[in-house]
Amino acid sequence: MRVTVRLFARLRELAGTGEFAAEVPAAATIAAVWDEVVRRHPPLAGYARAIACARNAQHARSDAPVAEGDEIAFLPPVSGG
C-alpha cells in the first residue's frame, strides 16, 4: 500500500525532500515506514531514537499500524518560540 511521508527540518534537509510517496507492505507499522524512509535516504539512519511520529497529523507511536493513503510524518526535536 502507499502512504505519504512528510519530513521536517534537519530530516528534510538530510533527505533532500520533505514529502514523497512510499510503498509499504499491508499491515505495516509506522516503524516499517521509517525503515523504508531510511532505505531510500541512508543519511537518516541513526535518527530513529531522536524523532517523534505522527499519523495524519496526530501524534502516534512507532508501533501504530498505518493504512493506505495515510500521511506519516517524522518530527525531529522541536524548537519553536
Q: Which of 23, 46, 57, 68 binds other proteins (CB under 8 A)?
A: 57
- Dihedral of the alpha carbons of 61, 26, 56, 72, in degrees to the nearest 10: 70
Burial class (CB within 10 angstroms; exposed 0-12, middle 13-18, buried 19+) of 14: middle
- Note whether 46 binds other proteins by CB under 8 A: no
Options 26-34, 35-43, 44-52, 62-70: segment touching other proteins (CB under 8 A) = 44-52
**Which residues contact other proteins (rule: CB under 8 A)?**
6, 8-10, 12-13, 50-52, 54, 57-59, 73, 75-81
